Structure 1
């Protein structure tokens, strides 16, 4: 019976594989990934699956990737990790040790990338991932992990810079963050930025990931009359936070979230209650971001929306850039040898729909975050490296005054 159960489990795992495009041939370059297709964070995980498949199809339609003197097509082998970190690690191990994929793409979320990158390092197979931004991922001096998200420790950097220029100037801040690798890194980086800006942190609270009840925290925010609330968490947590803020009539002058705001799903879920929310993004579909395969970021966004029925955000753009980085590195290396491709990735410097792809010595890209805000039915860029882009809607009015 044990053997039967093991075979059944293996069959279930095999069924979790989704092949992009046509089945891989012996000549295809196979990219492997484990992504959250089901479970609590599947809504964001699908951005990566869709972006990987979409970009691979685009590159293949243009003739594929040149390896030495021949052109070869890309293929994708992807598992559903069911939002389970331990399963994800096992699947990446299977991808490199049994499936013998050539190179790796990443999962979504820093705690996944932190664990899964240990597999790529152990087997010396390069992984380019745009789902994990925690500084912990890149502090271990690993050689085979590369990331296209900006450091989590500076996610609120542009937001804090903006706070200093608002009128009336905020004075007090509540900092809330989930207890996972990404959000802890965000908080650790944000505290010194707030102190340097002369802002008083009146609440500094770590909460359990996937928390659904924020009533006590919101009551504290009201009692101390915090001007600004900064929340580092997951999208479902942010949705619950905003809904409960409305029910408790908690309305600080400004609140900003690390996730959610750039997402069309977030804005649809909250409707008019998403208005005034601030967030940040390292990517906007700007036609000035030229791209070898898609033309530019605006063309990428339009084609992506036409295919999948929803607007891409920075998760999708970074996922597309991950595939492009591997394709470019293969061509630069003229080889599929993992060590040669790894060295080529480290030397990349090319324009893409996501921005310039060039990795720092630790393997991470540091792209500036643009502050964005939901203003009515629009997502408006507000503040960037050169100051205000558009006027923010600030202070946020009371809920009954909207």
Structure 2
């Protein structure tokens, strides 16, 4: 009679022999991220959570990631950094040192990406992120950080080009910006563009991140009779700015904002008060943007809205591109070795629903910004790389004349 231990051993051997081989036994590739699911910027952080998981689910449903002759499923290990930079750094450290994830996806916001990318560099684990655009992130010559947002210094580039052609051209411009990494980079790039365009910078003011009171700045705009106001900030700041502008009856010829305008939630929050606002986006859901996993950007946007109940903007599209870039690099490398995948990322070139993904020497891509404007209930593309797409509603009327 066989001993119990012998029977158990034989059963284990038999089970091993009957288990499928090849792709079904391939180890999952785990992607790790820390994003803002609670706190002041959670409304934007959810785009990344939803986009990451949506892309992973779609890729897995199509058979996963091909590494040599094996197919690997993707998995996501996600933490909520509670909109706290220090917590985010600790969580990324945990992801690589304890959770042993294979690769990293990024957080939202440049100040987070600036801090968290130091973790990926230290542990030599590639991070692909579409939440941080500050030039500072990519000026350090780090080798393991890759970004799918265009440089912050060029965010207002297309807006300034458009301003040169509107009638009447603005005679004075106010540049307002928060004191975080992204907005400082925006301001640094915009100053030189305004000067080159021959537009007079009458106000150049920095305000505290998460500011809620813009009355003093708005009073200056009114007293100086500023024609065009460019504001670099985060969505809650912009919402406060617009509401206070209305309450103080401050209505220059145009307002333009780095964030918010492309977002459905922003427009719903302001209602009719969002009308006439300019913004910019590197992405619109066009059927011309072909994609391996979703077909095209229009199909992606429709499927995303059906799944999550809200429209995607460029944050969501860049988040999907982050996942796809890692997948493409793994398949090109034929390996999950971090160094080989990092090297493959530096050479990757593919078309995605977000646009052409090809990282330059500093690890960033450079998609042109399209100027958009809220016109009634619609978000309208106004100005792009080929010039004016549609006439803007300009100049903006007084608040009591709408």
TM-score normalized by structure 2?
Answer: 0.94
Within 5 Å, give how 1:255-274 maps onto structure 2. 255-274=255-274
2:14 is aligned to: none
2:252 is aligned to: 252
Deviation string 1:173-194 (CA, Å, 9 cap, x unpaired) is: 0000000000000000000000
Within 5 Å, give how 1:20-59 maps onto structure 2. 27-59=27-59
Deviation string 1:47-68 (CA, Å, 9 cap, x unpaired) is: 0000000000000000000011
The 2-side partners of 1:401 and 1:384 are apart by: 30
1:105 is aligned to: 105
The 2-side partners of 1:95 and 1:59 are apart by: 22
1:177 is aligned to: 177
8 Å Cα contact 2:229-2:256 kept in structure 1: yes
Q: What's the CA shift for 1:171? A: 1.2
Q: What's the CA shift for 1:26? A: 7.8
1:21 is aligned to: none
8 Å Cα contact 2:26-2:71 kept in structure 1: no
Within 5 Å, give how 1:65-80 maps onto structure 2. 65-80=65-80
1:374 is aligned to: 374
The 2-side partners of 1:179 and 1:26 are apart by: 47
1:314 is aligned to: 314
1:125 is aligned to: 125
Gaps of at least 5 residues in structure 2 are: 1-24
1:91 is aligned to: 91
RMSD: 0.7
Gaps of at least 5 residues in structure 1 are: 1-24
The 2-side partners of 1:345 and 1:60 are apart by: 21
Q: In terms of Rg, which structure is larger?
A: 2
Deviation string 1:217-256 (CA, Å, 9 cap, x unpaired) is: 0000000000000000010000000000000000000010
Deviation string 1:52-92 (CA, Å, 9 cap, x unpaired) is: 00000000000000011100100000000000000000000
TM-score normalized by structure 1?
Answer: 0.94
2:300 is aligned to: 300
Q: What's the CA shift for 1:305? A: 0.2
Q: What's the CA shift for 1:278? A: 0.1
Residue 293 of structure 1: SS of its match in structure 2?
coil
1:159 is aligned to: 159
The 2-side partners of 1:75 and 1:130 are apart by: 19
Aligned residue pairs, count: 378
